[in-house]
Structure 1
Amino acid sequence: MLGSYANASDAQLPRKRKRPTISCSECHRRKQKCDRQQPCFHCTRRGKTEICLYEHTAEEYMSYESITTELGTVENASISQIPSDTRPGSEAVIDQLMSRQLGYSSSCSTGTFKIVSQLGEPDRNPATFANSRRNNDAAAQYLGLIREIPHRKYVNILVHSFFTNVAWHYDVIEEAIFRDELSDWDQVSYTALKQGPEYLPVNTRYFPALLLQVLALALLYQPVQYDDILDDLKYAPDIDFSDLASDYSTAGHRIMCMLGSRDMPLSKIQAGLMKACFEKSIGSVIESWHTLGSTIRDAQELGLHQLSPYDANKIASDASKPREVKLRRKLWLVLHLWDAHMAAVLGRPMATRLDPRVVRSTSPPTASPPQDQQEVILSPFDIILCGYHAAFKYLQDIHDLEVTSKIAQETVQKIHNAVVSNISRLPAWASSPSPTLDCKYPWLPAARETLITEVYFVLLALHRPFMSSISTSRVEALKAALQMLESQNRLFSQAGSHMHMSFTLVFATFDAMVLVAATYLGFPNDNLELLPASMKCMQWGLARLDAMRSRNTMAGLAYDVVQALYQKVLSCISLPDPPALYMDGSRNLNRLAQASSGDYPGQEILHITGAMANNKQDLDNPLRQEQLFDLVYQDLLGKSQALKQTDTTVLRQEQCGEPAHDSFWQLMDDLT
């Protein structure tokens, strides 16, 4: 009986693991797939590089793998060759260091290797060997990534292009500071780089991540007539600048992941924001949203969200660096605006909240231009501040709005009246062209149209949930959409071909056109006085998307979808027989230029034929719906101009039904 009990006890003992653990100790403990790097990806991302240790070395694992492959089964494999003592600093590890890294032969009986073996384990901190290996691996990985940075002559061209064509959109990277950091980076010696990134100053070690994102955006927004010397960067016959841009952006992101979030500078926040912008520009909207979320968490780690009410005197007299304090506020505001706009479109929760009191205002708003406009000093960020105080600050309230709430109508009316009032009080340079200032600041015309679209997008987002049940909301949403489309047309005529990659030229146009189509498909007998302008705006929008589709795949997708909706609108409403507008050739671009200089012609209604008739798309196609979902739910900041808002009493509940939720798929189901 005792024997049987003993056998039963033995049977309950856990079986000893017969194969070695190949993951690092942390990945093994957390049951994660380890990439066997030193440090591995997961430990790097979690900032735990110092505890990324392995039970067996890579060489032992490779030897073990070859044995198991030869014998066919793990059970038959002999692991007697694997040293039992593989602790850092043990004799086995010392032997490996000497034979495999220093090159000493283990078979020589009288050489240095034999002497060290006979002396036994040196009196040395055991962690030193592991730390040395980790440093060497990190240095090699870092060197491999920064080799993606091109020669300085190409960098100079691309940096200039970035600050000319791209930087004004968000104005969170100051050119003077960036060039100083670039100069400092050029002074870093190869010897210093070989020691590893941890031996570099914090700002310096993160700078390549920001530089690579800047180069990526500069390449993405290259005009058709670019500097031919940039062709030298192409390493394959069929490669284009967007491919190179993806390479640079990926390398920059890998540097950020490698360095982790410990002791990070503001340049990592800048790099993360530029990465999100790049991903959104190429249509990777979900990836952009996730990148934004990670960047927001990094910013919170640095305390960017802990802002006190704005006090210019306090900031100017701050004992720390005043420029850094201002940059922190700018970064957090832009991150909040990205978060608010993407939440409004994607229907996802917001990760940030912002008290308007912490955001500085621009100069006192006035409807009349200053006496001497030459005295006006502007920066692109002034445009963002104008938009924030006029409309953007209400986005978080709109996102929190419960459509079925009884007080929702009152809230919408208050926000609508406030936005319309703020639009009327915008500074003259922000609301109408100024030859003097437009010449002084080449970025101002495009920034002004961007502001207008963004402001009217707020009104569109405010009224869109109530379109199906409240007639006044339907009218106001339609007017806001038309304002966005007219402003987009002016912006398109001002922007060069390099801006065809811009997501704002696609998503703002697409969002507004879908709303216009939904209005007339759902309520064909309403708003007939706006029908001619609506048809013209849709036709010009289709022309713009068609012109951009050769460089922007998202524009092509948007064109196909809106063209199908436009055909449905034509089939359900009565129109006089209009002249034709063909979608190809220079004709349509000339008409676009004419339309950008003023209002659209009288009551003329242009009917798009030809290419449109040959391009009908099936909206019931699941793949098309998935692509459409990715496209629609990525509207950030749009662009538009002022249409007179005649009725500031917005809401009147009708008896035809409950307010509808702001769901794109519900809308598309209704339309199709």
Structure 2
Amino acid sequence: MNPATDDAPTPPSPIKAPRKRKRIVISCTECHRRKQKCDRASPCSNCIARNKRSLCHYENESARKQQLLEERVNAASVNGGQFSVIKPNDGDSDTAAQITGLGYARPNGNNNTTLGIYQKIQKHDSETGLLMSRPMTSDREQTGLREKYKNLIRQLPSKPYIDKLLVTFFREVNYQYYSIDEGIFRDHLQDWHNLPFATINKGPSELPPDLQFFPALLFQCLALALQYQPIEYDQSLDALKYAGGMSFDDLASDYSESSLSILNLLGKRQTTLVTVQAGFLRTSYLKSVGMITESWHSLSSTIRDAQEIGLHRDIIKSRKPDEKPEDILDGLWHEQLRRRVWLILSLWDIHMAVVLGRPTTIDPRDGKPSFPIDAPVPKNRREAAPVPRSNSDPPTPLTMLLWSVEISAPLWDIFNLEKEDPNQNNTARVEKMHTMIKQIQYHCPPFFRAQNPDTSFDALPECYWLPNCRNTFQGSAAFTIMALHRPYIFTTSTSRTCALKAALDVLRAQRTLFNNLSSLHYKMFSLVLNTFDAIVLVAVVYILYPYENREDLDDALQHFEWGMERFQTMSERNSMARAALGVLKAIHVRLNKALKIQKGPGKLIPSSPTSATPEAYPNNQFAPPSLTPSNTSLRSDSNGGQYNVPSIANLTSPAESIPSSATASGWDATPQVDFSSITPLHPMHDLIYNDLGTGMEDMNSSSYETGTWDINSLGIGSGVGAVGPVGAPWQFAGDFGSDSFWGVMNTYQP
């Protein structure tokens, strides 16, 4: 052993270079690449300044949020700890985006909302659009969104076909509810056609919000236009069909579904008025194809979209100092369109609720925006402000809409009364409401009157729609009265009379309207909804109370026959008419048996005297009131009864109590058989929601009219909600109770 060797020091090992500390990157990818300080907002201020919002994303999102949380905690401790007032970081807009994501309403000029207060604290009025922006997505998600959007808009037909179909839409469809302003729509269409492919290729996020949703609106317009093609249509439109045996209805369904796909793809964060218009036309389309349940849900969703952008209240917008006069005028017309669309949604909401027996989506307590001005349409809305039309100006579809809303305003009270008075005892309130509805009819403009109308505007090219709308208005007015009295027909004779006469008025208006239309209009759902309810009500009155109202019997039987003929004619193109026809056939059998009408063109054989008929209007209690300023909220002019702009005012306010002596006569008439336990009648609701049907849907009408089976052998059914015994196709089937009219009819022997 060598001691020297043993004591020699061991040579040191090579020193390793210190490892570089691996920091977690919490800056966005763009700031990290450019070596800039990032404020870690989403998107950050650097990307906003460079207009690169879409590129601003974070590789480690959890680390970024943790860092922000620590900074806020530290700031809170400096300012007084956990009990201090939390001050928002001036450079962090992520908090506002989170508040929006929680569902808080947009301020829309109201600083009392949560988000409005937050924005006021921030004092970032110039970045309001940023605060409302949708959460940014990854590149992969952006690519997927872009490709899906492009695939959908590729289904739009070329410009020549679009132009042809839009002619049909604006002439045959739009005037019915006037939800689209043609001038504003054409501007959007021109902007869409002018978009370069390079811009579209970048995806919808690069487009203004209105243009993002415009293809959805365009698809719905084309779908409705296809439904209204005449039998002798433009043969060049066949080129749009991409499969053999395809119909325009099939193509319309494709277009409407493409519209819905675009709405779903873009979501709710960028909702605009165009979004709401597309949603309404989707609702209208579903109704026209008989998908009433889906239409009702679509309407509810559309109303929520409208509330999202503040259509349900007036919004005061501040003018920019550098705003041009023509831009201000254009903005005024856009505001008029906003009010008009909300008015349409309100009208549909209450009408569908009353017809279908469903709840409303709109709560009137949330406020009512101002009515749109009934102004003539200018050639250039950037040069003229909305000014009320004069008596010498032709009416517009907006004139019709305003008066439709006026006559339908009492439906809100009718809807509430049915819930507040389930036992049908408040007859005084019914009488007062009847009188108020009649006032509106007496004040309608002369060109909407059913009796001796003013036809001086009918020959004008821009008023081609007026004769049809005249009948629509009269039918709507009669429907309101019918809806008022319908819940009371099983308890009061006067309501039976009023409801019967109103139902006959509905059927008269519908017959006149139908005779003025062609086959291309057979998909109009209004030709079925009001007619079906009116026919069923007429039949109910005469089946259960055959010795009342005999003076109207011949007229009622004739309109029943005409109504069935119209449904038969429309059944090939209108699925609702086809479904309702079978029910009407079964009711017709019972009506004939109750009235002792023999097979064929036999005579009416009454089995007891008709002296039991109650007085139609005892004590003249529903006579028209004297039109004085003290009892009417409608405005008149110096020309004696011509009205330009309606005002709902107090028409839907709660009625004052009326002494019981005013209604003592007529309301207490007791029928020979007590039917007061029957639930209120909602025929269309039962047809749609309770699967109401019979075995007579496909039966030729002549099979029971000519006597191939005996209507006098009508027997008792085998139970509620089920088709009766074999050989009894007239029995009602469906999901209804024994206390419903249909359940009673299955066991009732007239």
TM-score (norm 2): 0.59
Tell me which residue corresponds to 1:490: 512
Q: Structure 2 matches for 1:322-471, cutoff 5 A?
A: 322-354=332-364, 358-359=370-371, 375-389=392-406, 391-401=407-417, 402-404=420-422, 408-432=426-450, 433-440=453-460, 441-471=463-493
SS in 2 for 1:247: helix
* 1:669 shift after superposition: 1.8
Partner Cα distance (1:406, 1:282) in 2: 35
Change (3 A) 1:202 1:378: same
Partner Cα distance (2:525, 2:544) in 1: 28
Tell me which residue corresponds to 2:174: 167
* 1:417 shift after superposition: 0.4
SS in 1 for 2:409: helix
Q: Contact 1:143 / 1:194 at 8 angstroms: preserved in 2?
A: yes
Q: Contact 1:384 / 1:451 at 8 angstroms: preserved in 2?
A: no
User: What percentage of aligned pairs have identical amino acids?
Assistant: 35
Give the letter for the 1:359 counterpart: F
* 1:332 shift after superposition: 0.8
Partner Cα distance (1:129, 1:532) in 2: 69
Task: Give per-residue Cα distances to partners, 1:429-460, cap 9 Å, x unaligned.
Answer: 01144443122111111111111111111111
Give the letter for the 2:398 counterpart: F
Partner Cα distance (1:205, 1:263) in 2: 9
Task: Give per-residue Cα distances to partners, 1:266-300, cap 9 Å, x unaligned.
Answer: 01110000000000000001100110000000100
Partner Cα distance (2:582, 2:564) in 1: 9
Q: Structure 2 matches for 1:117-156, cutoff 5 A?
A: 131-156=138-163
Give the letter for the 1:648 counterpart: F
Tell me which residue corresponds to 2:232: 225
Q: Contact 1:466 / 1:660 at 8 angstroms: preserved in 2?
A: no
Partner Cα distance (1:54, 1:278) in 2: 46
Give the letter for the 2:339 counterpart: R
Task: Give per-residue Cα distances to partners, 1:14-72, cap 9 Å, x unaligned.
Answer: xxxxxxxxxxxxxxxxxxxxxxxxxxxxxxxxxxxx999999xxxxxxxxxxxxxxxxx
Change (3 A) 1:177 1:342: same
Partner Cα distance (1:175, 1:358) in 2: 22
Q: Contact 1:336 / 1:353 at 8 angstroms: preserved in 2?
A: no
Tell me which residue corresponds to 1:186: 193
Partner Cα distance (2:337, 2:601) in 1: 53
Give the letter for the 2:495 counterpart: S
* 1:387 shift after superposition: 2.5
SS in 1 for 2:457: helix
* 1:131 shift after superposition: 2.0
Unaligned runs of 5+ in 1: 1-49, 56-127, 310-315, 364-372, 581-603, 606-642
Tell me which residue corresponds to 1:108: none
SS in 1 for 2:138: helix
Partner Cα distance (2:247, 2:231) in 1: 12
Q: Contact 2:592 / 2:598 at 8 angstroms: preserved in 1?
A: no
Q: Structure 2 matches for 1:498-513, cutoff 5 A?
A: 498-513=520-535
Q: Contact 1:465 / 1:660 at 8 angstroms: preserved in 2?
A: no
2:543 is aligned, of 504, 521, 539, to: 521
Change (3 A) 1:187 1:465: same
Partner Cα distance (2:488, 2:414) in 1: 12
Give the letter for the 2:667 counterpart: R
Tell me which residue corresponds to 1:205: 212
* 1:362 shift after superposition: 6.3
Q: Structure 2 matches for 1:473-622, cutoff 5 A?
A: 473-575=495-597, 579=601
Q: Contact 1:202 / 1:264 at 8 angstroms: preserved in 2?
A: yes
Task: Give per-residue Cα distances to partners, 1:96-130, cap 9 Å, x unaligned.
Answer: xxxxxxxxxxxxxxxxxxxxxxxxxxxxxxxx996
Q: Contact 1:210 / 1:267 at 8 angstroms: preserved in 2?
A: yes
Q: How much is the aligned-residue C-alpha RMSD, in angstroms?
A: 3.2
Task: Give per-residue Cα distances to partners, 1:451-492, cap 9 Å, x unaligned.
Answer: 111111111111000000100000111111100111111001
Change (3 A) 1:52 1:543: farther
Q: Contact 2:336 / 2:373 at 8 angstroms: preserved in 1?
A: no
Partner Cα distance (1:669, 1:420) in 2: 34
Give the letter for the 1:394 counterpart: P
SS in 2 for 1:230: helix
Partner Cα distance (2:310, 2:207) in 1: 24
Give the letter for the 2:280 counterpart: L
Tell me which residue corresponds to 2:273: 266
Partner Cα distance (2:454, 2:244) in 1: 45
Partner Cα distance (1:300, 1:143) in 2: 29
Matched, 1:239 2:239: no
* 1:527 shift after superposition: 1.1
Unaligned runs of 5+ in 2: 1-55, 62-134, 317-325, 376-389, 605-616, 624-662, 683-735
Change (3 A) 1:317 1:163: closer
Matched, 1:298 2:316: no
Change (3 A) 1:234 1:534: same
Give the letter for the 2:276 counterpart: I
* 1:671 shift after superposition: 2.6
Specify the structure having the higher radius of gyration (Cα). 2
Partner Cα distance (2:491, 2:57) in 1: 59
Alignment: residue pair count? 475
Change (3 A) 1:576 1:134: closer
Partner Cα distance (2:149, 2:174) in 1: 27
Give the letter for the 1:156 counterpart: D
SS in 2 for 1:501: coil
Q: Contact 1:446 / 1:494 at 8 angstroms: preserved in 2?
A: yes
Partner Cα distance (1:427, 1:320) in 2: 29
* 1:405 shift after superposition: 6.3
Give the letter for the 1:191 counterpart: A
Change (3 A) 1:435 1:576: farther
Partner Cα distance (2:173, 2:506) in 1: 21
TM-score (norm 1): 0.66
Tell me which residue corresponds to 1:670: 744
SS in 2 for 1:469: coil
Partner Cα distance (1:241, 1:557) in 2: 21
Partner Cα distance (1:307, 1:412) in 2: 33
